Amino acid sequence: MQRGFSLVELSIVLVILGLLTGGILAGQSLIRAAELRSVSTELNHHVTAINTFRDKYFAQPGDMTNATKFWGDQATGTGACADAATPDGTPGTCNGNGDGIMDGNLERHRAWQQLAMAGLIEGSFTGIPNAVTAGPNPGENAPRSKLSNAGWDIEYYRPSDYSWVGASTQYVQQLRHGVYGVWSDLDEREMMKPEEMWNIDTKLDDGKPAIGKAFTRYGAACATSNAVSADYLLSGQAKACGLIYKIGQ
């Protein structure tokens, strides 16, 4: 004689399954919240490191003209910039042009290398572009982020280059948070939902996607329009926003 499950037993099983599902979803939400908090923490750490470097060495990392006097000359390998008058370093580094900005593929990558050599950030970075993309690769020549296998990049761009109508045409130094892609730049799109980006922007700045120190690249799934007066599309559920942060002119 076969005996089936009673309604009470089935109800208990369904309750247990519901609790497990709810626990998994709650756990995922907590993990995501922690990852998003880490973005602000990482940003503040990098900004502090850059400012501390500038105060200590009187130059921007990557741009300083006497970097090899502190960390030696990188005399071998792909990133060699050998100078017979300067002792070789391990791995060594290269001097910048001293124009006050971290620009071009070399200075933007040397910046992370020199910040690490100065003991201001963790890690060890090559100081040269990635061999495949000619740009950043988190963990190789730029710091990793705890969010979605992302990383950080330094660039010198105009806000108007991010497709905002009416944005400033003045170049500004920026920290960008995004993923390693196929271009020579780190792709800072499709990282966060609009509400997530708005939350970070509000804590860091003004909560507006196109203006202020914290902003994003325009996308129809991220903002209400491409005008500088736009708001974040808070009802959007797509990961369509990414953090860009001005760190100077």
**Average model confidence (pLDDT) across the chain:** 88
Tens digit of each residue's pLDDT (9 = 90 or more) over 12-48:
767 776 666 666 555 667 777 888 999 999 999 999 9
Token readout for 55 is 């105060």
Tens digit of each residue's pLDDT (9 = 90 or more) over 115-151:
999 999 999 999 998 888 788 888 999 999 998 778 9
Q: What does the pLDDT read at residue 41?
A: 95
